[in-house]
A = this chain, B = another copy of it.
Amino acid sequence: MRRKSFEDFDCSLAQAADYLGDAWVLLILRNIFNGMRRFDEINSHLEIPTNTLSDRLKTLVGRGILRREPDPVDGRRAEYRLTPKGEGLYPIMIALVQWGECWEGSPAGPRIYLSSRTDGKPLPPVQVRDASGLPLTPRQVVAKPGPATTEHMRKLYGGNW
């Protein structure tokens, strides 16, 4: 990726934004969460330049979000699968879909319905909740420095600490 790296911003969000802050990465992950595994399969659903797709897949493998392994049917080809670190992005992906549907919806109604197999009911919006499950607003959340806080984060959160 061509732009400035945020790796030196030692902040939890900057670390995530460093490679998730890329529309192609988000769309590639969407396809993989939807069960696509092979390069040409991901490519055919995305109309992405193949060198861009190679670059992003390499980054995602390098950062431990995807693992690359031989296709069980044709060993010359590769499959891409989510690692546990990649699966950890699931709440972010669903929250993005729900936010897009809520705020950038189509006038013709919902484009997609998400529901749970546990009870067949619609998926409630992903929310920030306290330990007892109560939804929280930004003002109800407190940030405190941990042992690995950096000068950068101290300045950033200074007003709230």
Residues of A within 8 A of B (CB): 3, 6, 9-18, 20-27, 30-31, 33-36, 45, 64, 85, 87-119, 121-134, 136-150, 153, 155-157, 159-160
Contact = CB atoms under 8 A, between A and B. Distances in A.
Contacts of A134: 116, 118
- Copies of this chain, complex-wide, total 2
B27 A99 contact: no
Does more than half of chain A's interface fall in helix, strand or loop, or is it mixed? mixed
A49 to B, nearest CB: 9
Contacts of A115: 141-142, 144
B148 A110 contact: yes
B110 A16 contact: no
A111 B34 contact: no
Contacts of A14: 23, 27, 30, 100
Given A109-B146, A150-B111, A155 B117 contact: no
Contact of A142 (B117, B138, B140): B117
B6 A27 contact: yes
A96 B149 contact: no
